[in-house]
Structure 1
């Protein structure tokens, strides 16, 4: 009887010890809900392995929660707005900048026959005062010498989209996927301007950043290769990417289209490849809203 009990205890201990703690051993990737998640559909379908550990993607619902995760060191890799990455760096949160995966999702939309042009002063609805959409909108309008009145009464892109569809708004700045939803549901709406290009030859503005923890520095080449693969998957196989994102409940059915993904300008560039573009973008942000960067430009180490 004693032998039997000892055998049972030994068996239980062996079973417990043989079960790996995959959650603790995973590489935790935090991605803001929205266009950034599109670039990671491939990782959701087939979790890659970095340094012998599987990648686990978690969707974060707000920039505030993302910032908290980074401050607490809960994310090994994080995807967030470039201005937030620079701000956190200036606050002493020392993650490494891997690169930029998305080069712009912002568009000016309005009703046919009511295009913005010089000589009038339309009301333009926008959300997020002091954030990237607001800054790029003001920059575009200043560049093209357009007179305007910015209206911030709607606090989210969804509210602005609903205002457009209800006929309460004629001109608005929207990003994907809300732009595509609006265009699909109202044939009188059209894209009036692309706010994502500093000039016609440019890839776009380096609006999104991918950061990784210092412990992963030795895996930089592997990370870059996997990020490039994931971004190419979204661009080259958009229908599959959409199915994955819908299955994972990142986007509701019908929210995304291949055109939505195309308008997100997904193209992974490493920090060294994109450094000049990132610098120009952050200088532009600093010109309009220096507080968005924490009051100063990040130093050279930000790009290393």
Structure 2
């Protein structure tokens, strides 16, 4: 009897030891990711909530799973100003920014950054309650509410009005896009200019609102069919680039693939956009995605897209591009 008890105790002890060893040999998910990131270049990156950051969602997920070619530390910022401060202070290697802000930062940092890709085209739309606006000419004598005074929305809208000889539009400026959306919803405004994803948020909650004009289409009709309206871009610190050219080239490859994935798999991308807090809800991301015009343009096409846009902004207000037009050193070449 004693032998039997002793044997049972020995078996229990052995089982416990084996279980301990088995569990001890199971690496955690964090350890798995750490092991997978051994030997990878460490890259810090900042994206902004909204369209400018949406194309990076798949790359962020790959990074979180330890499947990316670089080891990225990603900051998802609430505003362009937050990312701008990180660029100025060299707290990030790569950043995704509004195109005019990239030009401003190039001047502010004495040329210490380069623009490597355009990642977002026009995201501005004119909405109304009713069915009276079908062209810019239909805005004659009307009041339009919008945010973005002293920034790209104002300059682009005013340029389109001037070029189409619509001179009697009253523009009521508000502080935030959310304020404009609320004004339309509450009847304080009948015609507004909104970017995505604010536009989709309005359309999902108010069936009486409609998209009257697409600024991308207006831009092509006014400037030329081959012209694009570049709103977002990717910049890189020159110091980082000089010492990590291979890592940056890998980033561009991974980011381009991320943009392609977003276009091919919008539903999965919408879920990732919510997961990584680029937008609060996947439903809004999915609704907004077709109108966010997420792209990947680099090289000569990027430069040919940005230069005329910067010239337009400079003519409207030199401060919009940092007082001086960006020179050749601003544009990254592989």
Q: What's the TM-score once normalised by structure 1's chain length?
A: 0.86
CA offset at residue 157 of structure 1?
A: 0.6
Partner of 2:62: 46
Greater shift in the superposed pair: 218-227 or 94-103: 218-227
Partner of 1:155: helix, strand, or coil? coil
Partner of 1:46: helix, strand, or coil? helix
Greater shift in the superposed pair: 179-188 or 192-201: 192-201
Instruction: Name structure 2 gaps, 5 residues minimum.
Output: 1-32
CA 1:156–1:271 in structure 2 vs 1: closer, same or farther (change >3 Å)?
farther
Partner of 1:161: 181
Whether the aligned pair in 2 keeps the contact of 1:110 and 1:170 (CA below 8 Å) is yes
Q: Deviations over 1:194-248 (max 9, x none)?
A: 1135315336212212011222352343232212111111111111111111122
* Structure 1 position 104 matched with structure 2 position 122: yes
* Structure 1 position 149 matched with structure 2 position 170: yes
**Number of equivalences:** 283
Between the aligned partners of 2:56 and 2:126, the Cα distance in structure 1 is 26
Partner of 1:134: 154
Partner of 2:220: 199
Partner of 2:216: helix, strand, or coil? coil
CA offset at residue 174 of structure 1?
A: 0.5
User: What's the RMSD between the two structures over aligned residues?
Assistant: 2.4
CA 1:240–1:123 in structure 2 vs 1: closer, same or farther (change >3 Å)?
same
Between the aligned partners of 1:144 and 1:195, the Cα distance in structure 2 is 13
Partner of 1:98: helix, strand, or coil? strand
Among 187, 205, 211, the alignment partner of 2:235 is 211
Q: Deviations over 1:255-304 (max 9, x none)?
A: 52434111111110114321111001101111112111111101111113
* Structure 1 position 261 matched with structure 2 position 289: yes
Greater shift in the superposed pair: 172-181 or 186-195: 186-195
Whether the aligned pair in 1 keeps the contact of 2:57 and 2:276 (CA below 8 Å) is no
Between the aligned partners of 1:155 and 1:298, the Cα distance in structure 2 is 28
Q: What's the TM-score once normalised by structure 2's chain length?
A: 0.78
Between the aligned partners of 1:86 and 1:239, the Cα distance in structure 2 is 33
CA offset at residue 252 of structure 1?
A: 2.0
Q: Deviations over 1:56-90 (max 9, x none)?
A: 22111222221210111111110001111111111
* Structure 1 position 69 matched with structure 2 position 97: no
Whether the aligned pair in 2 keeps the contact of 1:31 and 1:57 (CA below 8 Å) is yes
Between the aligned partners of 1:211 and 1:253, the Cα distance in structure 2 is 27
Partner of 2:203: 183
Between the aligned partners of 2:126 and 2:54, the Cα distance in structure 1 is 21
CA offset at residue 96 of structure 1?
A: 2.1
Between the aligned partners of 1:243 and 1:119, the Cα distance in structure 2 is 38
Higher helix share: 2
